[in-house]
Amino acid sequence: MEGGGGAADGHNDRGKFNHFKVVHMKITLFLISLIISAFGIFSAKAFPQIPDQTSNSLRNGPEQKGAFHTGHYDNLLSDLVGKSQTSVQENIDRAFDLLFFGNDSTQRVYYPDRINSTMGYIEDIGNGDVRSEGMSYGMMIAVQMDRKDVFDRIWKWAKTHMQFKDGPHAGYFAWHCRTDGSVIDSNTASDGEEWFVMSLFFASGRWGNGSGIFDYENEANGILHTMLHKEDEPEHGRVTNMFDGKEKLVKLGFVPTTRASMGRWSAPGPEDMLISDSMPGGLR
């Protein structure tokens, strides 16, 4: 399934994209992640659930709890638009196949690594590079589509090329790399780390934990520990924590250039789970 056209020709032709196509595909990639989350493709076994203690009246009232707590996932296209689950699933599958396995030069954003076939990356097709937010979005989409092969390739690429092994940024990820894996900018962007953590926890819930870098829960907790406790490390320098523990929000922007707390870059509602006892494997 890794085909879709000649990779070399595709990379040469990709510069011919017009602005509309670039914007369209970036927006589509992000929307798929949000749409799939709303549709509740996960089975009850995909991610550990907290028993539902909420009555239907509370679920629909001002004190309603989210799907993580209730185990109930609304399908908004079925509930509000009247689309059948079969129709919804067919459209999701079609969009996924196009963006991950479509034509090299006009459709896909996921590419197998050209040297190591056990790795892959999500390319920013407008700039011809790789960014941590796109990689982590790609992992979230892969786990929700139950594509462990794609998930593991993207994660291995990010772990190999983007995560710092030592120095002030150790444990964080370079936000900006070339498609050959070399780092363009050694700063780290908080949205990438947050989505890496959530997608790894989801992978642990859906597939269980493997060994090494595929012990998903251990890897997620390692990143999360760094996000919460970077400033406790003696060698952190100017590099800061990524979480505002009081506000339970990820700090906006590039670490270490900002300390502002904003929700704009947040994954769908994980902050309170990630820094509370309710998270499976939860780190305090």
Average pLDDT rounded to a whole number, residues 249-261: 59
Measured CA to CA, the distance from residue 138 to residue 198 in angstroms comes to 12
Residue 147 lies in a domain: yes
Residue 96 lies in a domain: yes
| Residue 85 pLDDT exceeds 90 | no
Task: Name the residue range of residue 253's domain.
Answer: 7-43+74-274
Residue 165 lies in a domain: yes
Give the Cβ contact number of residue 193 at 10 Å.
26
pLDDT of res. 262: 47
Indicate the average pLDDT of the chain: 76
pLDDT of res. 205: 94
Residue 145 lies in a domain: yes
Confidence of residue 215 (pLDDT cuts 50, 70, 90): very high
Measured CA to CA, the distance from residue 21 to residue 129 in angstroms comes to 17
pLDDT of res. 6: 44
Phi/psi for 26 (5° steps) reads -65, -45
Q: Which residues contact 165 (CB under 8 A, 6 or more apart)?
A: none
Residue 62 lies in a domain: no
Query: DSSP character for 264?
Result: T
Q: 201 near 283, Cβ under 8 Å?
A: no
Q: Looking at the 3D structure of the chain, how many domains does it have? A: 1
Residue 65 lies in a domain: no
Confidence of residue 116 (pLDDT cuts 50, 70, 90): very high
Region of poorest pLDDT, from 90-99, 114-123, 273-282: 273-282
Using a 10 angstrom Cβ sphere, with 0-12 exposed, 13-18 middle and 19 or more buried, the burial of residue 222 is middle
Q: What is the CATH number of the domain that holds 31?
A: 1.50.10.10
pLDDT of res. 274: 54
| Residue 17 pLDDT exceeds 70 | no
pLDDT of res. 282: 38
Average pLDDT rounded to a whole number, residues 98-120: 95
